Amino acid sequence: MGQVVLITGCRSGFGLHMAVHAARAGHTVYAGLRDAGDAGELLRAAGDLDVRPLQLDVTDARQREDAVARVVAETGRLDALVNNAGTALGGPLEMIDEDELRALFDLNVFAPWALTKAALPTMRAQGRGRVINISSMSGRQALPVLGAYASSKFALEGMSEAWRRELADLGVDVILVEPGAYRTDIFGRNRRVARRAHDEPAYAELLRRFEAIYDRSVERMARDPEEVAALVVRLLAAKRPVLRHPIGPATLVRNLALRLLPQRAVEGLVAAALKRGSR
């Protein structure tokens, strides 16, 4: 039986692919868009599939409530919520301004928390539901220059872990998907750098090395976002999914390093990678 699924951030990237894959699997998909007028690419990809574009700026409290209310009014239920909308922010932490950090956390942390809160009464009343939060490998390991982004994903991971335990006896599963590098707009037109990232000469060499590694990694390792979409669709139907699902290039190596190596060794690997980036 198909599920009713609400997915955020569906204009492009992971969200667009998730919406199409989920509908292809027989689910009714409400595809959240910050601007419903940007649904063209999504609708072309979906064709005749049951994908319903939905006006949903996840940072807008009224739109969050209206989105959940519409889904429940039209279908009578909400089986799954996929919190996919998010953004990144690059730059040394010292050079990030407070308004930038607050905006980042508003989208990456407070929005999924608030939207999940809005969805939970329906899921609890049903006695079943599933919340899938799209995190990142940066939610497990904070790299230099991506400290703000990693901090937001660490927060999402902690919140998800607590919610999983709070909701387990109420029939609601909470799951984390932790992608590595994939070909999405977060590496292209949505790539964001703090406005003062390059203002302090003390960080110039670090930024140069990191950006060289970053660009090279994306070029060599970034994979098709449909892999992540396919995983999310499998998780919608999984009987007893575990909490964390890392996926993508280098995630296995990074996970093993974090689990098996002492912190000093992990720091040494990061330092060595940055040094190689200077060549």
30 flagged as catalytic: no
Domains and their CATH numbers in the chain: 4-202+223-249 (3.40.50.720)
The yes-or-no verdict on residue 185 having pLDDT over 70 is no
- Which of 76, 61, 86 lies closest to 177 in space, CA to CA? 86
Query: Mind listing the pLDDT tens digit for each residue in 4-24?
Result: 999 999 999 999 999 999 999
228, 14 Cβ separation under 8 angstroms: yes
The yes-or-no verdict on residue 159 having pLDDT over 60 is yes
The yes-or-no verdict on residue 231 having pLDDT over 70 is yes
Query: Mind listing the pLDDT tens digit for each residue in 80-100?
Result: 999 999 999 999 999 999 999
Cβ burial of 196 (10 Å; 0-12, 13-18, 19+) is middle
In the chain, the amino acid numbered 93 is: L
From 149, 182, 203, 214, the catalytic residue: 149
DSSP letter at 37?
A: G
Query: Mind listing the pLDDT tens digit for each residue in 236-275?
Result: 999 999 999 999 877 766 766 667 667 787 676 666 766 6
What pLDDT does 212 receive? 81
What pLDDT does 188 receive? 54
- Position 219 confidence tier, pLDDT thresholds 50, 70, 90: low
- Position 141 confidence tier, pLDDT thresholds 50, 70, 90: confident
DSSP letter at 107?
A: I
The yes-or-no verdict on residue 27 having pLDDT over 90 is yes
Separation CA 134–CA 24 (nearest Å):
20
Average pLDDT, the chain: 90
